[in-house]
Amino acid sequence: MLALLSVSDKRGLVPFAQGLVRLGFRLLSTGGTLEALKGAGVPVKKVSEHTQSPEILGGRVKTLHPRIHGGILGRLELEADREEMKAHGIEPISLVAVNLYPFRQTVASGAAEPEVIEQIDIGGPAMVRASAKNFRHVSVVVDPDDYPAVLAELEQQKAVSEDTRRRLMRKAFAHTAAYDASISAWLSAQAGEPFPGELSLAFQKSQDLRYGENPHQRGAFYREHAAPQEPTVAFAKVLQGKELSYNNILDLDAALGLLLEFPEAPAAVIIKHNTPCGVAVDAALVKAYRTARAVDEVSAFGGIVALNREVDAATAQAMAETFLEAVIAPSYSPEALQVLAAKKNLRLLEAGPALASPQARPRAQLDARSVSGGMLLMDRDSVEPPLSWKVVSKRAPTPEEERAMRFAWKVCKHVKSNAIVFASGDQLLAQGGGQTNRVDSVRIAMQRGGAALRGSAVASDAFFPFRDGLDEAARAGATCVVQPGGSVRDAELIAAADEHGMAMVLTGVRHFRH
């Protein structure tokens, strides 16, 4: 029996190869895999000796040969194939263990284009696809995690079962599809083409979820193949707590996205049902958290918390006072972990030091949403275009009002439309959103904020279509307003702001969030 091994990921390679030899396999290999096996004392034959053809073009052509692909693709149940293989001296290859050149890792390293191009594997995908196509006679292994199961079946029943060969086939085609999708995505990025004519996505399953948004829906979590430099939920380390749910992951991502709007100072964000219910900054993290929680303590119960500095014992103690679903932070002190260990179901995620950096910023990436029969793709609303705010009222905002408006504006783009946010310079005071008209959003925020809205700034994610929303905001006590502008009634809105003595700033940028 012949087995061909040629892998870039050499985890478990030597024990697997040794197991195959014990079971009577003769091994073929190339390049670094060949040297690794020889170095471990595993008997192995070079592919060029088997094919009686030299490796050429600097190693670009090694396995592209009839004695390799004929050995893999031969339909052994057909007498004609068997006779033809015999006539050409082609021996069947019954096991192929291949994983592909490290293309993604090379791209992530920042390598120049020629080096990246050389990491586009040709022979590897050809062997994987050929082996998967002929799964009835060939076991194809692309993942080192499958080595033990394959060896176990060979040891116990002298063959790999058809169920396993079919599973390995599915995995193999997914492997090459994801590999090609990564190449396509890189080429599109190099060409400055974010929306190519054909879209292929490459993600790896991180975990199966207990269920989706509701218990009757199935769910799974997929992530990119390589961790980005920026902090993400997908690559955060889970330190304790119950298994993350579909809704937990959505809320953690929303919390992290809003938190990254405030990198310069200790900040706390509390999210409930994908909506901010508490946001604050302070010189001390514990104060930022307590202030954020005080915005809406009822909604904070069962919420998701994001913090952008290491969690200390005081902050941990404050969080332990309220039932929370999950917390994401750069890191946790040993004392904080000891305090939070008592909350056994509380999910703790460690996002890494990048989250604590004053230079931390959201990733510039694409957002995808499925619709019936299709998909919508757009730039994520993470970086605002560099436009200048324009004062259009008679009164310009004071420095303190401008600070409050900028805080409100950052929060506003993370609230569902029609979004209305009241804020001071260092905290969210109240928000209203997800309504079918803007004036209702204002009234909901007024009901939540009450007297705390006196002297506040109000932000609107899109223009006020009528002055009624602005009139209500003024009645609530807001002294300044920031909004995109662009309505046919802008002049009427500006006049209303002047009538109320409010400062009004137009951003020229809309932040709808449907």
Mean pLDDT over the full length of the chain: 92
| Mean pLDDT, rounded, for 479-495 | 95
| Token representation of residue 365 | 């990436």
Per-residue b/e over 164-193, b at no fewer than 16 CB within 10 Å?
bbeebbebbbebbebbbbbbbbbebeeeee
Domain boundaries, the chain: 1-189, 232-354, 388-504
CATH superfamily of 388-504: AICAR transformylase, duplication domain (3.40.140.20)
For residue 386, what pLDDT is reported?
A: 66
Question: Which active-site residues does the annotation give?
Answer: 133, 273
For residue 412, what pLDDT is reported?
A: 95
Q: How far apart are CA 219 and CA 285, in angstroms?
A: 35
| Mean pLDDT, rounded, for 175-180 | 90
Give how far the C-alpha of residue 115 lies from the chain's centroid of Cα atoms, to the nearest Å.
26
- 1-189: which CATH number, 3.30.420.140, 3.40.50.1380, 3.60.15.10, 3.10.20.30? 3.40.50.1380
As a CATH number, domain 232-354 is 3.40.140.20
For residue 120, what pLDDT is reported?
A: 86
Judged against a pLDDT cut of 70, whether residue 329 lies above it is answered with yes
H or E element at residue 499:
helix 490-500
For residue 361, what pLDDT is reported?
A: 83
Distances (CA, A) of 214 to 218, 325, 405: 8, 16, 37
Q: How far apart are CA 313 and CA 332, in angstroms?
A: 9
pLDDT level of residue 197 (50, 70, 90 thresholds):
confident
Per-residue pLDDT tens for 437-480?
A: 999 999 999 999 999 999 999 999 999 999 999 999 999 999 99
333: left (phi over 0), alpha (psi -120 to 50) or beta: beta
Judged against a pLDDT cut of 80, whether residue 61 lies above it is answered with no
Same fold, 232-354 and 388-504: yes
| Mean pLDDT, rounded, for 394-415 | 96
Judged against a pLDDT cut of 90, whether residue 167 lies above it is answered with yes
Per-residue pLDDT tens for 2-12?
A: 999 999 899 99
